[in-house]
Amino acid sequence: MLSQYLSSDKSKFQFIMDILNGMHDWVRVIDRSNSVIFVNRSMEEGLGIEELSGKKCYEVLNRTSPCVNCITRKAVFEGKALKKEEIFNNRIYSVMSSPITSDSGEVHYVVEVFRDITKEKELENKILNQNIQLQQDLETARKLQMQLLPRDIHFPCLDYALLYNPCAELSGDMVNVFKIDEEHIGIYIADVSGHGVPASMLTIFLISILNKKTRSPSRALYRLFKQFNSSDFDKDSYITVFYGIYNTSTCVLSYSNAGHNCVPIICGKDGVQKLFMPSVPVSNWLDKPKYYDAAVYLQPGDRFFLYTDGVTDQWLGDPEKLVNDEVILNILMDDSINLNTVLSKISDYIYSRLSDMKTQPKDDITMAVIQPHPQRS
């Protein structure tokens, strides 16, 4: 039957038959009555077919009734190619049904190609399960990283608030406020190169080194540098850190900077003060970088604002421009709102600016605001 439809030219017919029988995929041709009029050699061998005469398409697959989702009939009546997946003999096949249309536009036959995709599906399921496990592991790591942030730590002469919005499951930012001794409180904000797991591992390394009882911020940063370079971190990795130590007796903030170009600012009754200190990040770029200590008087009522470049980069470009942004400065100077509200308002402002630019945050957004007050009895 098929030979009459294809051509009376035997050599041309044989050429087409050689192509079909040389295919690894199963190929069959079905007429309008759902009768199979041809199967290629691969399908014959795979199904053990000896006689096709009168067999319906579903009978060839050892079924007693038409498939629920019969794309063969749809291909005949809709005149377009359709695709589905079919399970047969514990194997998964991708089935493509393509109509053969005559010059008059009528569909007389449908060619179906069965491709065994069992291995691909097994690999797909394996990758899916691995991705699910990875997401679960990342969520666990995220929760652990969040636990590293200061929680329910109160100081008798210092209030603080933190905002920490990672752009991925794991962040490369870290901010911390912690007790060194009865008179000294450690404060730092850091930004690790990159995002995700490698960056989060560097933040854990950072915490393990900086949360020590040292009185000199510059010495703490140099110790961090030495530990960083004695470890097997990627040569392109680096950490920017602003580290301060607040003396609760003298109200003096000693500080040092390792390449953190988001200049912290102090807003108070004396106006706005920038704690600008050029330096290089903690990295392997220099053999022996120099970090210096500086000091500033932090009066009760002053608001000390720290942030990472995720706050500024996308809408300001240069982090130093933040000190000139009147909206942020007015929020910081508004002593009628508490510190958590300060950060919430600044965050809303940043996201509204990004929304105006029709963009999403591409970096972690981390902020802290610290405010000394007279020691409470």
Q: Please tell me the distance from the alpha carbon of residue 264 to that of residue 369, in angstroms, as a whole number.
A: 10
pLDDT value of residue 101: 85
Query: Which pLDDT does position 374 carry in this prediction?
Result: 75
State residue 212's pLDDT score.
73
pLDDT score, position 343: 94
Whether domain 149-372 has CATH 3.60.40.10: yes
- List per-block mean pLDDT (blocks of 10 residues) for the chain, which spans 377 residues: 53 81 91 89 86 81 84 86 90 93 85 94 92 73 65 83 75 83 91 71 75 84 89 81 94 94 89 90 88 94 90 64 78 92 92 79 83 73
Predicted TM-score of the model (pTM): 0.66
pLDDT digits (tens, 9 = 90+) for 296-352: 999 899 999 999 887 776 656 666 666 677 888 899 999 899 999 999 999 898 888
Q: Where are the domains of the chain?
A: 2-116, 120-147, 149-372
β-bridge partners, 28: 39, 112
Ramachandran area for residue 162 (φ above 0: left; ψ -120 to 50: alpha; else beta): beta
Closest by CA position to 244, among listed 254, 231, 230: 254
Provide the strand spans (E) within 41-168.
82-88, 91-101, 107-116, 158-165
Say if residues 174 and 200 touch (Cβ distance below 8 Å).
no
In the block, which residue shows the tokens 């560097």?
202
**Mean pLDDT (the chain, rounded):** 84
In the sheet that holds 252-258, the strands lie side by side as: 173-179, 184-192, 239-247, 252-258, 294-297
Q: What is the DSSP letter of 56?
A: B
Q: What pLDDT score does 1 carry?
A: 46
Which structure tokens are listed for 173? 């930012």
Determine how many CB atoms are found less than 10 A away from the CB of residue 63. 12
From 3.30.450.20, 3.40.30.10, 3.60.21.10, 3.60.20.10, which CATH number describes the 2-116 domain?
3.30.450.20
